[in-house]
Amino acid sequence: METKLDQVKGVGPKLLYILRNQKIWSTYDLILHTPKAYEDFSIDQINHLKHKDKITISGRITSPVKSNPYARIHISSFYIEFMDQKIEVIAFNKPFLSKSFVLNDEVVIKGTYQLYKHQIIAQTVIKKEKNVEIKPIYKIDQIFDKTIMNIVETIFNQNLVQLYEIIPEQFIEKYHLVSRIDAYKMLHLPKSFDDIRQAKRRLKYEEAFYLQLKLIASQKQRQSLRAPKTYDINLIKSFIDELEYELTHDQKQAVNDIYRDYKKPYAHYRLILGDVGSGKTLVALLATLPVLHNREQVALMAPTELLANQHFQYFNNHLKGYKICLLTSKTKQKDKMKADIKNHEYDIIIGTHALIESDVIFDHLGLSIIDEQHKFGVSTRDELIDKQKGHDVLYLTATPIPRTLAMVAFGESNISLIKEKPKERKKIDTHYLLKKDIAKLYAAIDQKIKNKEHVYVVVPAISSDKVDDNIQTVKTELEMNFACPIFILHGQLSNEEQTSQMEKFMFTPGSILLSTTMIEVGLDIPTATLIAIYSAEYFGLSQLHQLRGRVGRSHLHSSCFVISTKEDVERLDILTKTNDGFKLSEYDLIQRGPGDFLGKEQSGYLDFKYLDLLADYQILLEAYKNVDELMEQPDFKTNSKYKYLNRYIKNTLKI
């Protein structure tokens, strides 16, 4: 039942107008508009208080309220009796006190205790009969909080709102959650702070439950049947034994996860969440072996031609017995290559956005690999995935996403985490400098050039009045200080020019590549051992960590310098203390929000009122297990008990 607000006692035309401007139209809307904060009016003892402690006390006024309106700041003062003690109360800029309070009034005072003068500097003075121990703060302009409390109390007392239970009973009992209506009563009219905690705990679970309901239903909707993939495990082991490096524990676990997916009777998708330099490309390569064994094709889509070309070289070097092609905007004789793809002349097709063109038709696509998946829009990824139903999908990303966000986007069972770095990789030393200390960077670059190693210099812009450090200004700066070859890379160059600059840099020992963030993903040059990132205040920590990952890709000692034009000590200092991209991503999540990791399309439904993605990970995990277990029940779609859940799924997913 939902009642219009003008039918509630105490809601007149003026109040109605203000509430409607807040998009509060009904009693239901008002109940869902919960307090933004709470003020604690529970009474303190003063026996063990320290000087300047914040306290709340209750007592009887024992002297007239004196007022000095002529002072520069209006001062009111009076004495109260509290637990057989006499305490002076001083209040600034509260002229109404002398008119509102008289001798023997019982009052509650909230303020700062002055130990040596035995005074309280009062922030709030209210009459005791109006006092509640916990005062909700609604922050609605032009309406007193007490007015909202009175209206809400009337709504509950007169049953003018209906709040249906929307969590299955078994989970309410399992976690000892309060009912939905009790949760909102406790938030609006709390008797204790434990009431507020219990109410929020219930509503956090509710938000987590419905988020997981939407996600798991969406995942199940995408599932399509296919035959389990067969493979010769001895051939796989033999291939791994011949690799130059031993797999890390995390890499082995990720490969096992993928192979377990292949044994299932339906197409699966999995996110390989790998920190920079953790070897996720090798995991992707091993993922292709069972697919190729089943005579199916593999498509690998990368966000740039540079990265696509690098993958092409890598797969060609390791998979000698298979036909591999590279399809990009620069590919010659495209029509012939597309015809050959359709006729299964190629086993592995590596490319950029060119793979989603309508005339790219696969013969029997068994696996799509989408590298740096967050660089593509959702629709672009779906176009490749929808090329052929019933094939598996592997998403790769070297941008560390907080595990909670990854779980939200992909589901707990569809994530493989690779944090461990290969044993031969050395720790990258990271230094934070202000621009005035740039000479330290120059000395380090000079040594790398003498060692015939490669140096990256990254700036946030090609040219800009707003950013002092850009391609133009830093190029001049570098030319004045170093005699070595300097190559330039940015988005305004043609694809041919970009490839040419990269190749010249790679084959010129002791050179510098001055670039925008184009080098952020995928580039793997073992002799690149120093990266300098100018105007670091323009980058998030995760992006700085990603850029740092362009060095340290061999046994050689590597360094990263982050240079800031203004002090950014607290944030950038974290980068110097850890090489763990997942810790940095959690800091970024707090500072920048989920959109930086998942993109706007996916992060739009993460606007929680009570749930905290980091602090409440366990609640998200429990809700995931509960929903998954619920939806696996054979009668889930037909049981009238779950009718409202199925209606939510249908309306949310528009199915």
- At 419-464, the pLDDT tens digits run 888 777 778 999 999 989 999 999 999 999 999 999 999 999 998 7
Q: Which of 106, 130, 154 is the last residue of a domain?
A: 130
Number of domains, the chain: 3
Are residue 473 and residue 571 in the same domain, yes or no? yes
From the number of C-beta atoms within 10 Å of its C-beta (0-12, 13-18, 19+), residue 218 rates as middle
pTM above 0.85, yes or no: no
Report the pLDDT value the prediction gives residue 115, as an integer from 0 to 100: 87
Residue 363 included in any domain: yes
Residue 117 included in any domain: yes
Report the pLDDT value the prediction gives residue 151, as an integer from 0 to 100: 94
Residue 162 included in any domain: no
How far CA 301 is from CA of 331, 341, 375, 382, 548, in Å, comes to 15, 15, 11, 12, 24
- 316-319 CB contacts, 8 Å cutoff, 24+ apart: 318/285, 319/285, 319/288, 319/292, 319/348
CA angle (57, 60, 63) in 5-degree steps: 120
Are residue 474 and residue 532 in the same domain, yes or no? yes
Q: Which of 130, 160, 189 is the last residue of a domain?
A: 130
Residue 173 included in any domain: no
Q: What is the DSSP letter of 517?
A: G
What tens digit of pLDDT does each residue of 268-293 get? Answer: 889 898 888 888 999 999 999 999 99
CA angle (302, 303, 307) in 5-degree steps: 60
From the number of C-beta atoms within 10 Å of its C-beta (0-12, 13-18, 19+), residue 592 rates as middle
Q: Which residues of the chain have pLDDT under 70?
A: 1-2, 43-47, 129-132, 373-381, 403-404, 409, 412, 521-522, 591-606, 654-655
List the CATH number of the domain containing 46: 2.40.50.140
Strand 428-434: give its sheet, edge to edge.
428-434, 558-564, 528-533, 454-458, 512-515, 486-489
8 Å CB contact between 459 and 469: yes
Are residue 389 and residue 478 in the same domain, yes or no? no
Which residues constitute the domain of residue 329?
Answer: 233-418
Q: Which of 578, 611, 644 is the last residue of a domain?
A: 578
Are residue 302 and residue 336 in the same domain, yes or no? yes
Are residue 114 and residue 249 in the same domain, yes or no? no
List the CATH number of the domain containing 492: 3.40.50.300
Report the pLDDT value the prediction gives residue 499, as an integer from 0 to 100: 83
Residue 242 included in any domain: yes
Residue 284 included in any domain: yes
Residue 272 included in any domain: yes
Strand-pairing partners, residue 125, are: 109
Are residue 281 and residue 374 in the same domain, yes or no? yes
Distance, CA of 197 to CA of 193 (rounded, Å): 6
Distance, CA of 197 to CA of 183 (rounded, Å): 10
Residue 33 included in any domain: no
Report the pLDDT value the prediction gives residue 600, as an integer from 0 to 100: 47
**Taken in order 272, 274, 276, 279, is the CA torsion positive or negative?**
negative
Are residue 361 and residue 444 in the same domain, yes or no? no
Distance, CA of 68 to CA of 92 (rounded, Å): 10
Report the pLDDT value the prediction gives residue 260, as an integer from 0 to 100: 95
Report the pLDDT value the prediction gives residue 484, as an integer from 0 to 100: 96
Are residue 502 and residue 400 in the same domain, yes or no? no
Are residue 347 and residue 474 in the same domain, yes or no? no
Are residue 539 and residue 573 in the same domain, yes or no? yes
